[in-house]
A = this chain, B = another copy of it.
Amino acid sequence: MNRAPNISRQTLGVLAALLAQPQAWRYGYDLSKETGLKSGTLYPLLMRLSDQGYLEAEWRQPLQPGRPARHAYRLTAAGVALARQRAEAAIQTAPLQTSTVRP
């Protein structure tokens, strides 16, 4: 049977980056800079999320010839829901420390 989608640390990082501005289109290259993920991890991940309906993807023409067209990604409604849910879960697992810091 098909497995439930597992949300790894890496995937969570990308979802968090996208959730920061849920309606903005983001490029893979920028996301790789922001999350620190290498292309061999990031691009397959984006394609998977896209296939699963959590992201929508669009090609944008390059501004200058000689540069590749850019693939823009954005969270779908399902993607926003997933990201929120998992982000909350992550927060409950590792809550912010407000009073346990010791001098």
Contact = CB atoms under 8 A, between A and B. Distances in A.
B67 A68 contact: yes
Interface stretch (A14-22, A58-66, A73-81, A84-92): A58-66
A48 interface: no
B62 A66 contact: no
A45 interface: no
A67 B66 CA distance: 9
A59 B65 contact: yes
Contacts of A66: 59, 68-69, 71
A62 B61 CA distance: 11
Interface of A: 59, 62, 65-69, 71
Given A59-B65, A62-B69, A68-B68, 4 more contacts: A62-B68, A65-B69, A65-B71, A67-B68
